[in-house]
Amino acid sequence: MNIRFPENFTWGVATAAAQIEGGAFEDGRGPSIWDVFSRLPGKIKNGGLPEVACDSYHLVERDVEMMKELGVNSYRFSFSWSRILPEGTGKVNEKGITYYKKLLALLKENGIRANATMYHWDLPYALQLKGGFGNREIIKWFCEYASVLLDNFGEDVDMWATFNEPIATYVGYGQGFFAPGLRDEKYARQALHHLLLCHGEAVKLFRERKPGHGKIGIVVDVWRHYPEREENEEDKAMAFAGNEIRGYGMFLHPLFLGGYSKELLDYFEENQLMPLIAEGDFETIRQPLDFYGLNFYNGLYDNADKMREREKARKEGGNYQDEPENHPEALKDVLHMLVEKYHVNIPIYITENGMPFDDASGREANLDDQARIEYVKNVLIWLHKAMEEGADVRGYYLWSLMDNFEWSAGYDARYGLYYTDYEKAERIPKKSAKWYAQVIREKGFEVER
C-alpha cells in the first residue's frame, strides 16, 4: 500500500525553549517557574535541571543544520518569556531578542518556515510571585509580552501559536507535579480562565498589528479517553471526566463553541470551583483562528478496577505499572471529533507526536529505535486515512528534534530523532532520523497490505 501525502504538506520537528535552550542564567535571562520548580527535592526524576539542557542557546547553528539534514520545511519552537522580559514585564532583554533573530535568520537561510509558540509552560518566576495566571493582571502582562514578540519577529514568523497545551497550567496549579507545583484546584480553574483570556486578547492584538504574512492559532493536546468496558458505568464516568472535566473539553468548548459546557459548569457548582467570569469574557476567548494545532500521542482506555489497584499499590509502596498501550487509531477518531463535535473548521496541523525511549535502556538501544519508527509509521497511516475521509490536516511535526529536558521526567525520557549526549553536548542521528528524512523526501512510504 502506498501512503503518500500532498506535495505542499508541511513536514516539521518541534521543540520548546525551556527544554532545549539552557543558558538559563546567561545574558540577562530571568528565572522561569521551571527553573525554580526543578530545584525542589523530588520534583524532577533523577534531579535533572534545565539550566544547560541541550545547550541550544550556544549550539543553534548545529540545530538548524540537523533540520537541514532531515529535510524538514518547518520548525516549531517557542520563545522564552524570561529571556525576552526577565521580570515578565518592563525592560526588554536585547540579548534575548538577538538570539531569536539569529535563529529566525538561520531558518530563513535554509528555507525552513518558522512556527513559533508564544508560551510553552515557562512563566517568568517574577510573575508567579504576583499570582501568575491566577491574577487577572496576567492578561495585561501577556499582551505586553506578545506585543514585544510581534514587534520584533512579526515579519519572520509564518505561524504563531498563543499557547501550547494549556492543561499544563491546570496540572501545575491544581495537581502539583508540574511547575509551579501548587495543589489548589480552585486557583487552577481561575488560572485557566485567565489563560484563555490571554489567548483571546493576543489574537485580537495580532489582528490589529497584522504582522507580515503570518497566521495565528493555538495548540491543544487531545488524549481522548474511552471506557475500557463500554457498559461499565464507572469506566464511562472516568472517561467522561478525563475528556470533559479534566481534559480537552475545558478548552475546546470555550475556544470553538463558546462558554464552558453545562457538565463543566455543573462540576464547578457542585465543588465550589466556579471561576470569576466577567461580562464579555467568552466573546474574547472565542476569537476566529487561522489554524488549530493538535498534539496527539495516544488514546486512553479507562478501567475503574485497574485504577483502584494502582492506587492501592501506591499507598502500600508497591510498583504497580500497566503494560504500555499504543492506540494510534485514536487519531482518526480525534480528528473527526474536532470537526463534528467542536466545529473546528479550520486547517489542522499535528503539532506534536512522538514516542519516548527510556534513558536506562542505553545509548545503543536508543540509537537503534525501530520501535519509534513503527509507532510514527502507524500514526501517519491513521492520519492518512483521516485525510482521505476529509480531515483538513496540513502538516505533521514530530516531537522532538533531539532528546531534551522532558519536564518532570527530567532526562530519563528520550523523544529525539537525534540522541543527545548531555555531557559532550553532541547530537547523534538515530535510525528514526534517517527514516524520517526518507519519508519527507518521498512524501510518504510503502506498507505491506
Catalytic residue among 165, 201, 244, 406: 165
Bridge-based pairing state of the strands 393-399 and 10-14: parallel
In the block, cell 462540576 appears at: 267
Q: Catalytic site residue 165?
A: yes
Please check whether residue 14 is in contact with residue 400, taking contact to mean a CB–CB distance below 8 angstroms: yes
Catalytic residue among 21, 201, 244, 352: 352
User: Measured between alpha carbons, how far is residue 276 from residues 190, 203, 285 in Å?
Assistant: 7, 22, 14
Q: Catalytic site residue 352?
A: yes
Amino acid letter, residue 412: D
Q: Where are the alpha helices (DSSP H) in 129-184?
A: 138-153, 167-170
Please check whether residue 357 is in contact with residue 365, taking contact to mean a CB–CB distance below 8 angstroms: yes
Give the residue from 95, 24, 16 showing the smallest Cα distance to 63. 16
Q: Using omega within 30 degrees of 0 as the cis cutoff, is the peptide bond preceding 180 cis?
A: yes
What's the rounded Cα separation, in Å, for the pair 55 and 26?
A: 11
Q: Which three cell numbers stand for residue 112?
A: 525552513
Residues 6+ apart with CB under 8 A from 167: 220, 221, 247, 248, 251
Q: Which residues pair with 300 in a beta bridge?
A: 225
User: Measured between alpha carbons, how far is residue 82 from residues 96, 141, 171, 230 in Å?
Assistant: 9, 12, 21, 47
User: How many residues does the structure list for the chain?
Assistant: 449
Q: Which three cell numbers stand for residue 300?
A: 486512553
Q: Which residues are catalytic?
A: 165, 352
